[in-house]
Structure 1
Amino acid sequence: MLDVSHDHQVRAALKAHLQPKLGSDDLLVDEFGLAYGAARADLALVNGHLEGFEIKAARDTLTRLPSQVEAYGHVFEMASIVTTRSHLAEVRPLLPKWWGIMLAVPRSHGIDLLVQRQPRSNPRRSAQHLARLLWRDETLAALSVLGLDRGLRSKPKLVLFDALAAAMPVDELADYVRTCLKARGDWRSAKAQSGCDGS
């Protein structure tokens, strides 16, 4: 095998690489939805920060990478691409300097992940897009704590998201989003929207 052909092979190696670093309340989330489902992160790590990982195996194309980079930039504090030798040269100029780069290399024992560039802090997260990672009840809980929920409880979700984004600094909002993600039970189920009581 000269290169790693398939997404699922790289994904398994990446999860194995990240697993020893996870704390008891940290999360690894497959297919993490961004921009109301317009884009997805292949894998998201939710711990003391929100970090996204985009996988580009040898058989993947890079057609959607620029739009994926834009979507990641709205919400993730850090991001990395995990790719193969066949894509490495083409990938580099498509990534902002704050993105990390990991190279998936086939070995006789499996796949090694070699860090080519460490991720750095994203300088341009969007409060509006961070707020849209929340459920309605979670958004209203935060607005209530801030004393800003009056007259908003019957409003559409986008109005609530905009109100919260305007009221909270990006770093505080990101902390709240992470707290809510970790507090959810079956957090992919819309029926499980029990809210998050943190502030």
Structure 2
Amino acid sequence: MMVGAPRAETRIKAAVIDRLLDGRYVDANSVLISEMTVANWTRRADIVLANGKLWGFEIKSEVDRLSRLPGQLATFATHFEKLVVVVAARFEEQAKKLIPDGVGLWVEEEPGQLKERIRPKVMPLKTDPALSLMTATDLRSFLACNGVKQIKDAPRAALENIARGFPVADLANAARDAVKRRYRRSHQVFVEQQARVGTFDAVQALRRFNRTTVASTDHVPQFDLPELDLAEDHPLLVQAPAGRVLKRRRRA
């Protein structure tokens, strides 16, 4: 990672959040998220807004490269209902050639100043991505609320098979609500911090590992986690209440 990269990315993240707040896209039922993983942890969206839709924002600051952008967009386009690429001014022309139809483009013309070049189109969630955004607990709750019984001990695969019988619009709504519940606490911490220290210094509070913070959040640890590419049948991949995790090996 190049020197200055974290600060440059955080600057643009803060600008995206401020634009969303100023545009009144964030209400009492909305949730902002930083570094949200999708597609079995293989991709991380820089900023996500869950309101009436799931918005994904992929950021490329002046110290980044665009080589990974096509692959990122191919995944994000299936997991978010609106998708926006946010780039430093030097990447504008190159980004226009790389983004597919339906994906929006915002450009940072000056530090912290964003301009919309292309407005994103709504791309409805399909069944498989909607299911992937829900944990097994989320799926059980959805099915139980829809009258399905005897699923307490059912494995995730069985829950997904039953859920596939429901309208995709219902699954999309359930996925959106699940994401909001999962990240509600970190969003609330961010709102509290932002009121005290401003958006730039509060951005790190949006990371989900801060969701249990109850005391001072002035010194939040920062981690750059690698993107993992794990097979569905990985022997150490198990379903935990908060999602899929790697089971710890026992020492011999």
Aligned mates of 2:176, 2:36 — CA distance in 1: 13
Structure 1 counterpart of 2:199: none
Deviations 1:3-58 (A, max 9, x none): x9721111111111112321012111001111121101111100011111100111
Q: 2:29 aligns with which of 25, 35, 41?
A: 25
> Do the aligned residues in 2 keep the contact of 1:74 with 1:130 (CA within 8 Å)?
no
Cα offset, 1:86, TM superposition: 1.5
Residue correspondences, number: 184
Structure 1 counterpart of 2:166: 168
Deviations 1:148-187 (A, max 9, x none): 454x5434324423432x1222222111122222234557
Q: 2:16 aligns with which of 11, 14, 17?
A: 14
Structure 1 counterpart of 2:51: 47
Deviations 1:127-146 (A, max 9, x none): 11111111211101222233
Structure 1 counterpart of 2:237: none
Deviations 1:63-88 (A, max 9, x none): 22112111111121111001022211
Q: 2:83 aligns with which of 48, 73, 79?
A: 79
Q: 1:89 to 1:149 in 2, by over 3 A?
A: farther
Structure 2 counterpart of 1:118: 119
Structure 2 counterpart of 1:101: 105
Aligned mates of 1:66, 1:79 — CA distance in 2: 13
- 1:49-198 correspondence runs (5 A): 49-106=53-110, 110-122=111-123, 125-150=125-150, 152-164=151-163, 166-184=164-182, 186=185, 188=208
What is the RMSD of the two structures over their aligned residues, measured on CA atoms? 2.4
Identity of aligned residues (%): 26
Aligned mates of 1:121, 1:32 — CA distance in 2: 20
**Unaligned residue ranges in structure 1 (runs of 5+):** 194-199
> Do the aligned residues in 1 keep the contact of 2:126 with 2:172 (CA within 8 Å)?
no
> Do the aligned residues in 1 keep the contact of 2:135 with 2:242 (CA within 8 Å)?
no
Aligned mates of 1:54, 1:160 — CA distance in 2: 31
TM-score by length of 2: 0.65
Aligned mates of 1:183, 1:8 — CA distance in 2: 24
Cα offset, 1:116, TM superposition: 0.2
Deviations 1:71-130 (A, max 9, x none): 111121111001022211111222121111000122xxx52100001111115x331111
Structure 1 counterpart of 2:219: none
Aligned mates of 2:56, 2:68 — CA distance in 1: 16
> Do the aligned residues in 2 keep the contact of 1:186 with 1:192 (CA within 8 Å)?
no
Helix, strand or coil for the counterpart of 2:40? Answer: helix
Q: 1:137 to 1:119 in 2, by over 3 A?
A: same
**Unaligned residue ranges in structure 2 (runs of 5+):** 187-207, 210-239, 244-252
